[in-house]
Amino acid sequence: MTGSIDLYGLLRSLFEDLVIIEEAFERLLLDDRVFSCLGVPTCLWRRIGEKTRETANTASWSASTGI
């Protein structure tokens, strides 16, 4: 019985970590200061490859290269 309890605790802590990471990612997406202060093309991807946000410089570059 202790093995299943340890597994449950491990899964719960992993899930809590993922929630914290997702909340931090969402805050980064909502913070316009991060993207407006950078003078270089910037893009933010999720680990699954979904492009979630990009600056205007990156949008024009990625449209011309087909990315």
- Radius of gyration for the alpha carbons in the chain, expressed in angstroms and rounded: 18
Q: Which residues, including other chains, have CB under 8 Å from residue 43's CB and lie 6 or more apart? A: 51, 53, 54, 55, 58, 62
Listed by start position, the domains of the chain span 2-65
pLDDT of residue 58: 76
Q: How far is it, in rounded angstroms, from Cα 47 to Cα 4?
A: 30
pLDDT range class, residue 66, cuts 50, 70, 90: low
pLDDT of residue 62: 67
Summarised one tens digit per residue, pLDDT across range 8-65 is: 888 899 999 999 988 988 888 777 777 777 777 777 878 787 777 777 777 776 666 5
pTM: 0.56
Q: Which residues, including other chains, have CB under 8 Å from residue 64's CB and lie 6 or more apart? A: none
